[in-house]
Amino acid sequence: MKHTLPVYEIFFTSLANPNRLQIVLSLQEGSKNVTELCAHTGFEQTMVSHNLKRLERCGMVFAERKGKHKYYSLNKETIKPLIKMIDSHVSEYCCKIMEENKVMNGNNVMGENRAADGNKAMDENKMLGGNHEKHC
């Protein structure tokens, strides 16, 4: 079944946001409540809650109330296998590109100038789990 470009944009922009992606990657380890996600990501509660609403609306995560807390988990049918497939692809292709560019350009990933935006490089490193070398 084919969809229009805007439908695909909703899906891909949801995962393209580094904060939402980090939340999704954190949920790979299992369900978490907002407090646990804040501790794991270092994000503030309002930001985590805001991004969880978008992920939940898109069906990427589901919430289950347990006592006073809502616990969020990845959609086991679609998103969890997709992230696993992406991890495999990243290990095979993207990590090699990052390593090649690291050798060729120092910290310069994908030929972009990161010196002007140190936060973006830090965000990429954080998004990959804090130290991309352990994942690559």
Residue 130 has pLDDT above 50, yes or no: no
Query: Of 49, 74, 99, which residue sits at a domain end?
Result: 74
For residue 24, what are the contacts with CB-CB under 8 A and spacing of at least 6? 15, 55, 60, 61, 74, 79, 83
Indicate whether 9 and 38 sit together in one domain.
yes
Please give the tally of structural domains in the chain. 2
Provide the pLDDT for residue 111.
47
DSSP H or E segment with residue 70: strand 69-74
Provide the pLDDT for residue 110.
52
Indicate whether 17 and 63 sit together in one domain.
yes
Q: Which residue has the tokens 């930001």?
A: 47
Structural domain for 102, as ranges: 79-135
For residue 99, what are the contacts with CB-CB under 8 A and spacing of at least 6? 136
Indicate whether 67 and 94 sit together in one domain.
no
Residue 92 has pLDDT above 50, yes or no: yes
Indicate whether 94 and 52 sit together in one domain.
no
Indicate whether 22 and 68 sit together in one domain.
yes
Do residues 75 and 20 touch, judged by C-beta distance below 8 A? Answer: no
pTM beyond cutoff 0.85 = no
